[in-house]
């Protein structure tokens, strides 16, 4: 299993759409960078990241339903945290409608939407694509990310 940059935006859109996640802004001009976790050449998980200075936005985390419970989401999240940190971010933000408890188990904490930094509030996902009732969560990125707990499988 390995993580690669997602260069085929058709696959990105299809995986996001199948998971009922925002995909409308995924095109060649998208600021989000997506990564695929592949097994035997097939995509089994996908996650995206937007870098906005000191703040990074987790843009969707999808695991193919038949592959859930194997820690694949955790592997991708670790990869995104390293990418965000190396890109200069000190905080990772995300919006979610149904997975807040999962991310809380991974050390994210709730943040009122009005306390999001301007860089995050100005993203298309925050301003237009995610519903207003979506939970905003945040995690400070350590200089070196420790491994996530085993109980945090998705």
Distance, in Å, from the CA atom of 113 to the CA atom of 110, rounded to the nearest integer, reads 9
Give the dihedral of Cα atoms 73, 80, 8, 72; nearest 10 deg.
-20
Distance, in Å, from the CA atom of 106 to the CA atom of 152, rounded to the nearest integer, reads 6
The number of angstroms, rounded, from the C-alpha of 75 to the middle of its chain's C-alpha atoms is 12
pLDDT given for residue 25 in this prediction: 87
- What are the distances in angstroms from CA 139 to CA 54, 114, 153? 12, 16, 18
- Assign residue 14 the CATH number of its domain: 3.40.630.30
What's the mean per-residue pLDDT of the chain?
Answer: 90
Among the listed ranges 27-31, 44-48, 87-91, 117-121, which one has the minimum average pLDDT value?
Answer: 27-31
The number of angstroms, rounded, from the C-alpha of 138 to the middle of its chain's C-alpha atoms is 11
- What residue has token string 């925050």? 126
| pLDDT tens, residue by residue, 65-114 | 999 999 999 999 999 999 999 999 999 999 999 899 999 999 999 999 99
Segments forming the whole domain that contains residue 115: 2-152
Distance, in Å, from the CA atom of 68 to the CA atom of 106, rounded to the nearest integer, reads 16
Specify the pTM. Answer: 0.88
Distance, in Å, from the CA atom of 141 to the CA atom of 38, rounded to the nearest integer, reads 25
- Asked whether the beta carbons of 114 and 78 are under 8 A apart, the reply is no
Among the listed ranges 8-17, 42-51, 108-117, 144-153, which one has the minimum average pLDDT value?
Answer: 144-153
Which of left, alpha, beta for 107 (phi over 0: left; psi -120 to 50: alpha)?
Answer: left
Domain count, the chain: 1
């Amino acid at each position: 299993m390995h993580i690669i940059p997602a260069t085929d935006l058709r696959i990105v859109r299809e995986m996001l759409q199948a998971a009922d996640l925002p995909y409308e802004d995924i095109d060649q001009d998208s600021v989000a960078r997506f990564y695929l976790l592949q097994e035997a050449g097939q995509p089994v998980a996908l996650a995206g990241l937007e870098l906005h200075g000191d703040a990074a936005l987790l843009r969707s985390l999808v695991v193919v339903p038949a592959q859930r419970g194997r820690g694949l989401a955790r592997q991708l999240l670790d990869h995104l945290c390293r990418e965000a940190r190396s890109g200069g971010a000190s905080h990772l933000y995300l919006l979610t409608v149904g997975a807040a408890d999962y991310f809380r188990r991974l050390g994210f904490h709730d943040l009122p939407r009005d306390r999001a930094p301007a860089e995050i509030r100005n993203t298309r996902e925050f301003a237009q694509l995610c519903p207003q009732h979506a939970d905003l969560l945040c995690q400070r990125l350590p200089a070196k990310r420790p491994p996530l707990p085993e109980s945090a499988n998705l």
